[in-house]
Amino acid sequence: MKLRISCAALAVTALFSQGASAFCRTTTCDPNDPAEACQKDANGCLITGLPLQWRSTCVTVGVQQMGAPKLNFSFDQVADVVQRAFDAWTNVNCGGGPPSIDVKLIGPIECGLSEYNQNRGNANVVMFREYDWPYAGAANAIALTTTRFDTKTGALWDGDIELNAATQSLSIGDPITGDDLLSVLTHEAGHFLGLSHTLDGTATMRAIYDPSRDGDSFRSLEPDDAAGMCAVYPITRKADTDSCENRHGFSAQCGADQPPPEEEAKGCSVSARVVGARTGALPLLLVLGLAAGGRLARRRRIV
């Protein structure tokens, strides 16, 4: 199994036109891998690879049971913000109805790791990193979303959102006293659902969030965001399944803490290889930028 980490963005090779919209969909092509020779269009969207999409009409997202103790964010507080962030996307009007996918909040989730298990249960988790942000070169990132998918079809299999409470300041509610958690999670929810960054300077999926300037503007979607959501999940889409169940089943526990599969318990070896498919992984971040005069500004690039 090959797990890739990249900051990819989107559209499928000219199979459809985005018209005046600038939204970008995430694809299977990894722009950080020279061997893949990913290409972009005039909007900065990838036109190489297959677009990512959850192939069901329903997907679940869970909140890690600890919440964020260091920030005094309880599980219930975080769960409420997560629900509101995804509701912004699923309540979009796609010209006669909502997008053809629902996001159901579940939890609490025991596992505090971003992982994907090939032969045990899984959960899509929102979690905080309060004491360590283990991503080299991204110390100033606010959040990271990692998705796992079938690189031969673009089908999304798993997604986790990690929030950097180790080096960044996050805020719940009003007044906003740091990086607005609802704004950050609404942006990350767009990545989770298959969208990448847009050149539209007003959209929630734009790459830069400046809390002193943008405030709570990322909490609600702009027309470009809505157009992207409806392109990924049009009301006429024929989903593969109506099931909300995670791939390989659901578990609130990390893979290492789950009971071994029956085959392992009998002493048989189990291959983690998926026949006919590779897997890939994509993420997202937020980085401090230099303001005029070389002073660090509270600007974040959302990756």
What are the residues whose beta carbons fall under 8 Å from the beta carbon of 61, sequence distance 6 or more?
82, 86, 103, 104, 105, 106, 124, 125, 126, 159, 192
Give CA–CA dist 21/223, Å, rounded.
8
Give CA–CA dist 282/156, Å, rounded.
11
Pairing of strands 195-196, 24-25: antiparallel
Residue 285 has pLDDT above 50, yes or no: no
Q: Are 13 and 154 in contact (CB under 8 A)?
A: no
Q: 60: helix, coil or strand? A: strand
- Could you tell me the two tokens for 256? 């290492």
> Which residue's entry shows tokens 């593969």?
240
Q: Which amino acid is at 236?
A: T
- Could you tell me the two tokens for 239? 């989903």
| Mean pLDDT value of segment 235-242 | 96
Give CA–CA dist 193/131, Å, rounded.
28
Residue 222 has pLDDT above 70, yes or no: yes
Element (H, E) at 195: strand 195-196
> Which residue's entry shows tokens 């939890």?
107
pLDDT tens column, 73-115: 999 999 999 999 999 999 999 999 999 999 999 989 999 999 9
> Which residue's entry shows tokens 């004491």?
131
Domains of the chain by start residue, with CATH: 53-252+277-301 (3.40.390.10)
pTM check: above 0.75: yes
Range ranked top by mean pLDDT from 69-78, 135-144, 164-173, 254-263: 69-78
